[in-house]
Amino acid sequence: MTLHSTAKALKRNAMRAMQDESLQQALSHVRTNFTAKRQAAVDKLPEFEALRNSSRDIKDHTLAHLDLYLERYEAKVTEAGGVVHFARTAEEARSTIIDICARLGARTVTKGKSMVGEEIGLNEALEQAGIMPVETDLGEYIIQLRHETPSHIIAPAVHLNRDQVEAEFRRAHKDLDPERDLTEPSTLLAEARKVLRERFLAADVGITGANFLVAETGTSIIVTNEGNGDLTQTLPKAHIVLATIEKITPTLEDVAQILRVLARSATGQDMSVYTTFSTGPRREGDPDGPNEYHVVILDNGRSAMLGTQFEDMLRCIRCGACMNHCPVYHAIGGHAYGWVYPGPMGAVLTPSLIGVGEGGNLPNASTFCGRCEAVCPMKIPLPGMMRHWREREFERHLSPALQRHGLRFWAYFAKRPWLYRPATRLAMRTLAFLGRGKGSLSFLPFAGAWTKHRDFPSPQGPTFQSRWRARQRLKGSR
Amino acid sequence: MTGARDEILAQMRRSLGVTGAEAPRRAAVEERLARAPRGVIPERASVAGAERLAMFKLKAEEALATVALVKDADCVPAEAARFLRDSNLAATLRIGEDALLGAMPWGSTAIDLSKGASFGSDLNAMSRAFGGVAETGTLVLASGKDNPTTLNFLPDNHIVVVAERDLAGSFEELLERLRGVYGKGAMPRALNLVTGPSRSADIEQTLILGAHGPRKLHVIIVEG
């Protein structure tokens, strides 16, 4: 079993999120900052679109040959003195990692940010094994103190305000002067740096994720801004990389292509501050670096996505652009999605990984505005795949009865144009009559949830279909 | 876990509808790995000479590093001393066994030089970069006794020396040189691409420098 999901309760989660004032304030930063920064970075690189195509093609080629590239990757890691461990499930990945830690007598492990670590519930498993996990990415550290999960895949604490972070630091860092000034974000960062520095130096094992696993060289790559991932993997006795199968990338040149779209899409930087290529453990004569280098490659349902209509999702490089541009994410934040991966990519990936029964509700959290696909550096057809999931949810009778009956009622008319046309004509005329004068309606039968928050613009009279017919007639007479 | 390995590969092959033995698939993979084809390289990366130097400097400064140019290697200690003084930092510096850095005239400065990896107590460190990439103002540092990886991350302030001739326009150009040194398919244990000083924007997306790595990154480019 992986991390517990509350994805089924999406509607309730979303309602709660929309009433949470401090969350709404925090989310306003996402709406403005991330989108503007990405756009500025994209505007400065004329080849951005060509690089998106190139990156998509690289991943498509890789996924079509994934078994062979994975074999090569394993051979190259072994050649460099590292050890590759394969894990079919979250449980296998957790026990592999715990076994390595136990063999080394590890008491504390530092961790770089890893969404796969969240996916397999690694921290709880380590704690249960008597090993203390310390998250070292600032955002991850904050939410670990709060016993929360990340609400964003690249900005885990994006749902919190500065005041909340200050309160948490005062609670957690009791040995520090209670009178200290923590009003500025920079003082909070300085405090985290100081506290975590001791943890880095004391850790027995360092665990990181990976943005790429390079088949050509047996190299794992992490991309960070803080440098925490590098301290995590450089200082302890052993470095464990936890990554999923789709991170495999054929060559260093292929990595160079994708790196050009990754940071620009994520934070609007040309390059993240630290892009680190790791190949095997410490070598003869090296004055630093880990003595052991392990890679745990997790499947957890991904190999079954190959060759299906959800294969495109395996191109995802976890930049977060889809959620940064999603009106639904902007409104409800990441926690409402109820599992590890939020936003449009989460809405597609979650049902693939934990099943349509648990996660099938998430693809309904979309307005189908298409912005996620428009900004996705890997050109993943996210709305199309959400539609596929909605179809499956409907087919499997998982959607609510009211919705199903409503759709059936509508379908009855839609399939009978001779009935549909006069019925909609009548309905539109009635609504236009009711809304005359002010041009909007403050109440609608069966749509109270809509009109509770905003007025419904009243129809102008003719239906779309009647206008379309008139237009076609006009064209024909020309 | 041989069982897990074989089962994952088998599941992949079932999903893809292949056996893994098909010659054309194997050939396509071998070909790509051997040839490592270059993809789209931004126009702005095709620079050389003074233009390349100027672009590296501009991009590194955009990433909030500071950059100084010096005539030759002998001028590096004085520039390092100036940087430390102007930044109000103690005149200490940790370096690795790098022969080029070690041979510089440190005696002409008041800098207290020490050698070796860092264990967390060093305020300032200096490394020599394998190269740099002008396209993004990125430094490329390779691990080893000459330039220990810990010097890149533990000290508060990091000075990196890079030779102008080791700057590449694009990342692909740098990879070509890397293969020339380490061999095809081989890599140093750690290759650190560094673009500006450490930072975080995890609190209200306010950018703050000096998260876990260096607060200041000063690049000294040796001309020629």
CA distances from A73 to A67, A245, A413 (A): 10, 11, 57
B-chain residues near A69 (CB < 8 A): 29
What structural domains and CATH numbers belong to chain A?
A: 45-303 (3.40.50.10420), 416-477 (no CATH)
A58 touches chain B (CB under 8 A): yes
Question: Would you give the end-to-end CA distance of chain B in angstroms?
Answer: 53
Domain residue ranges of chain B, discontinuous segments joined by +: 49-199+206-222
Yes or no, beta carbons of A273 and B63 under 8 Å apart: yes
Give chain A positions within 8 Å (CB) of B29.
Answer: 65, 68-69, 72, 250
Residue B185: which of A217, A256, A282 has the nearest Cβ? A217
- Residue A161 gets which letter from DSSP? -
Which chain A residues are closer than 8 Å to B172 by Cβ? 253, 256
State both tokens at A425: 């004509």
Q: How far apart are alpha carbons A358 and B60 in whole angstroms?
A: 47
Nearest chain A alpha carbon to B135: A270
Cα torsion angle, B94, B100, B105, B109, sign: negative
- Interface membership of B24 toward A (CB under 8 Å): no
Q: What is the structure's pLDDT at A428?
A: 84
Tell me if chain A has a CB within 8 Å of the CB of B17. Answer: yes
Task: Say if residues B149 and A230 touch (Cβ distance below 8 Å).
Answer: yes
In this prediction the ipTM stands at 0.97
Residues of B in contact with A25 (CB under 8 A): none
CB neighbours of A145 closer than 8 A, spacing ≥ 6? Answer: A168, A169, A171, A172
- Chain A CB within 8 Å of residue B114 CB: no
Q: What are the 10-residue block averages of pLDDT along chain A, 478 residues in total?
A: 80 94 92 93 97 98 98 98 98 98 97 96 97 96 95 95 94 94 92 95 97 98 97 97 98 98 97 98 97 98 96 98 97 96 97 92 93 98 96 83 86 91 86 81 78 81 84 82
Find chain A residues with C-beta within 8 A of B12's C-beta.
Answer: 66-67, 70, 245, 303, 306
Q: Are A294 and A83 in contact (CB under 8 A)?
A: yes
Check residue A87 and give its pLDDT. Answer: 98
Indicate whether B74 pLDDT > 50: yes
- pTM value surpassing 0.90: yes
pLDDT, chain B, mean: 96
pLDDT of B110 above 50: yes
Q: Could you tell me how many CB contacts below 8 A there are between chain A and chain B?
A: 275
Contact A61, A68 (CB under 8 A): no
Return the structure tokens found at A289.
């670096």
Q: Are A107 and A203 in contact (CB under 8 A)?
A: no
- Asked if B36 has any chain A CB less than 8 Å from its own CB, the reply is yes
Q: Best interface-test mutation with A: which of B14, B31, B200 has the largest number of A CBs within 10 A?
A: B200
Measured CA to CA, the distance from residue A150 to residue A319 in angstroms comes to: 14
b/e code A67-97 from CB counts within 10 Å (16+ = b): bbbbebbbebbeebbbbbbbbbbbebbbbbb
Question: CB of A455 within 8 Å of any CB in chain B?
Answer: no
Instruction: Name the residue in chain A with its Cα closest to that of B11.
Output: A303
Is residue A215 within 8 Å of A248, Cβ to Cβ? yes
How far apart CA B172 and CA A255 sit, in angstroms, is: 10
Chain A residue with the nearest C-alpha to that of B133? A271
Q: For residue B101, is pLDDT > 50?
A: yes
Per DSSP, the three-state class of A82 is coil
- Find chain A residues with C-beta within 8 A of B175's C-beta: 252-253, 256
- When pLDDT is averaged across residues B166-180 and rounded to a whole number, the result is 97
Assess A270–B contact: CB distance below 8 Å, yes or no.
yes
Asked whether the beta carbons of A275 and B193 are under 8 A apart, the reply is yes
Question: Can you read off the two tokens belonging to residue A321?
Answer: 């652009």
Q: What pLDDT does A478 receive? A: 66
Q: Which amino acid is at A290?
A: P
Determine, for residues A138 and B200 on separate chains, whether the beta-carbon distance falls below 8 Å.
Answer: yes
Which of A88, A136, A162 faces B4 most closely, judged by CB atoms? A88
Query: How many residues are recorded in chain A?
Result: 478
Q: What is the pLDDT of residue A395?
A: 84
Chain B CB within 8 Å of residue A226 CB: yes
What span, in angstroms and rounded, lies between the C-alpha atoms of A266 and B17?
34
User: Chain B partners of A60 at a C-beta cutoff of 8 Å?
Assistant: none
**Has domain B49-199+206-222 been given CATH number 3.40.50.10420?**
yes
**B138 and chain A in contact, CB less than 8 A:** yes
Query: Are the Cβ atoms of B40 and A88 closer than 8 angstroms?
Result: no
What phi and psi values does residue A448 have, to the nearest 5 degrees?
-60, -30
A-chain CB neighbours of B146 within 8 Å are none
CB atoms near residue A283 (< 10 Å): 16
Q: Give the three-state DSSP class for A299.
A: coil
Residue A207 CA to residue A140 CA, distance in Å, equals 14
**Token representation of residue A374:** 């428009």
Report the residue from B1, B143, B170 with minimal CB separation from A289: B143
Instruction: Choose among B139, B141, B169, B175: nearest CA to B38.
Output: B175
